[in-house]
Structure 1
Amino acid sequence: MTSSTTTSGSPGSGTDAATTQVYKIYIKASAEAIWTALTDRNWTARWGFGGYVDMDLRPGGHYEVRASKEFRAGALARGNDLPEIIIEGEVLEVDAPHRLVHSFHMLMDPGTAGEAFTTVTYEIVERPGGMCSLTMVHELAGAPQLALIVGGAYEEYGAGGGHAWTLSDLKSLLETGSRMSD
């Protein structure tokens, strides 16, 4: 997986936060299979942190994520009682099965809930040999705490490895039928 970030703030000031995070991964799966794994609630809870995505796949449509029982139990064990909807947003662009853009607002704690809405873009490009590249761009201006979380900064504290981990888990599931943790 390749990843890059663009930062703002001054080094050492405590205000460094990736304002744009880019992740690119190659998956031996069809564009349709990847699209389904990203957009179908029966698939979305099977990889990453276990969220059920409800999405109206049209510009202006809603985007919501609800935690699975396992995700909710893990958060509660760490002292975080999650709200019913943990992420909300709006679908901005849809070109199935190649491009999806939606806004993203994490509601899992007061810190991230108080930050700005951000934007996530998925680009799926078919490659030779039954493979696709999946590029995820998360524009995080106005959401420094979220940038740290999705960048994997809190992995050692039980908050997971961010987007790099979730995309790796998606790749594992699509290529082998099993999650990384199975």
Structure 2
Amino acid sequence: MTCDHFVTYFAAMDEVFDALAHPDRRALLDSLFERDGQTLTELQSRFPVTRFAVMKHLKILEAAHLVTSRKIGREKRHYLNPVPIRQVGDRWISRYAAPFVTAMVGLKQQVEGTVMIGPKHVYEIYVRASAEAVWAILTDDEKTPLYQHFNMTSRTDWRVGGAIEFMMGDRTVIAGEILELAPPSRLVLTFHARWSPEVAADAPSRVTWDIRQLPGNACKLVLTHDDFGGDTATSRQVNAGWPETLSRLKTLVETGQPFELEPDYSPAEG
């Protein structure tokens, strides 16, 4: 990593810490974690502060990429983006320690009764490459193991209505169908997890890849995983994989080199 990359990385980390420093902004993130996709009016109604104050806090959170927003009809909805927080955690928590840290946090939440449910996941990341470059790798089955969680391979019929499978060896762990295919900006597919009997019992959910070209050689990538039908085993388990997938995809597109990671466990171990 060059000196310029270090400067950019630490500046981004400073923005995350600054955004998290204010208790009202942490409360806004908690509210979005509990129920993602809220409007400004909905968020403001939950806090004893002015609408302007909530707008200001949301602007800071968006600048730190902790919150992303999307216009749906006349409404602007806000979503929690956990990628920067995961990146901060990854800096000091080794992959070998991560499962134990997760287990300890989960136990603490169960004992204290503070577990929150957010059955809609939205991730946002910026890539220093064109939308076409991201799309080319995203839709190339040969490149899938270079960025996917667990180094999964894929087999896809690239048309609307076509089948898509993600595999570990000869075993299909995720199966789906392409719902939308609009190169180089939008890919929507169903997502039926099959790595364990628990998730296989869930109905298929939905994954949406949105890629927006920005001025210069850069684009904004937003991944939305939703339509779980409630708090399901799938909605609880996919959070661990997407931040890694997006980080590896970004590295691959920007450098042409895969970011090699050894998985901590297999999906069958859940």
Structure 1 length-normalised TM: 0.75
Q: Which has the higher strand share?
A: 1
Q: Which has the higher contact order (CA 8 A, sep 6+)?
A: 1
Alignment of 1:23 onto 2:123: yes
The equivalent of 1:74 in structure 2 is none
Work out whether residues 26 and 132 of structure 1, in 8 Å CA contact, stay in contact via their aligned partners in 2. yes
CA distance in 2, matches of 1:130, 1:175: 10
Q: Which has the higher helix share?
A: 2
The match for 1:150 among 238, 262, 266 is 238
In the TM superposition, what is the alpha-carbon distance from 1:178 to its structure 2 partner? 2.8
Alignment of 1:163 onto 2:242: yes
Work out whether residues 185 and 210 of structure 2, in 8 Å CA contact, stay in contact via their aligned partners in 1. yes
Q: What is the root-mean-square deviation of aligned Cα atoms in Å?
A: 2.3
Work out whether residues 5 and 20 of structure 1, in 8 Å CA contact, stay in contact via their aligned partners in 2. no
CA distance in 1, matches of 2:66, 2:191: 22
Matches within 5 A, 1:29-108: 29-49=129-149, 50-67=151-168, 84-108=171-195
Alignment of 1:178 onto 2:257: yes
Gaps of 5+ in 1: 69-82, 153-161
- Larger CA Rg, structure 1 vs 2: 2
Structure 2 length-normalised TM: 0.52
Of 56-65 and 91-100, deviating more is 56-65
Gaps of 5+ in 2: 1-64, 68-78, 82-111, 262-270
Work out whether residues 18 and 144 of structure 1, in 8 Å CA contact, stay in contact via their aligned partners in 2. no
Question: 3-state SS of the aligned residue for 1:45?
Answer: helix
CA distance in 2, matches of 1:91, 1:101: 6
In the TM superposition, what is the alpha-carbon distance from 1:13 to its structure 2 partner? 8.2
Aligned positions, number = 154
In the TM superposition, what is the alpha-carbon distance from 1:142 to its structure 2 partner? 4.1
CA distance in 1, matches of 2:119, 2:244: 19
Give the letter aligned to residue 242 of structure 2. H
In the TM superposition, what is the alpha-carbon distance from 1:37 to its structure 2 partner? 1.7
Question: 3-state SS of the aligned residue for 2:118?
Answer: strand
C-alpha change, 1:103 and 1:177, in structure 2 (3 Å) is same
The equivalent of 1:119 in structure 2 is 206
Work out whether residues 38 and 44 of structure 1, in 8 Å CA contact, stay in contact via their aligned partners in 2. yes
CA distance in 1, matches of 2:132, 2:185: 8
In the TM superposition, what is the alpha-carbon distance from 1:138 to its structure 2 partner? 0.3
Question: 3-state SS of the aligned residue for 2:198?
Answer: helix
Work out whether residues 47 and 170 of structure 1, in 8 Å CA contact, stay in contact via their aligned partners in 2. yes
CA distance in 1, matches of 2:249, 2:172: 22
- Which whole-Å deviations, capped at 9, do the CAs of 1:72-119 have from their partners, x for residues lacking one? xxxxxxxxxxx7111101100110111000000111111111111000
C-alpha change, 1:150 and 1:170, in structure 2 (3 Å) is same
Question: 3-state SS of the aligned residue for 2:202?
Answer: coil
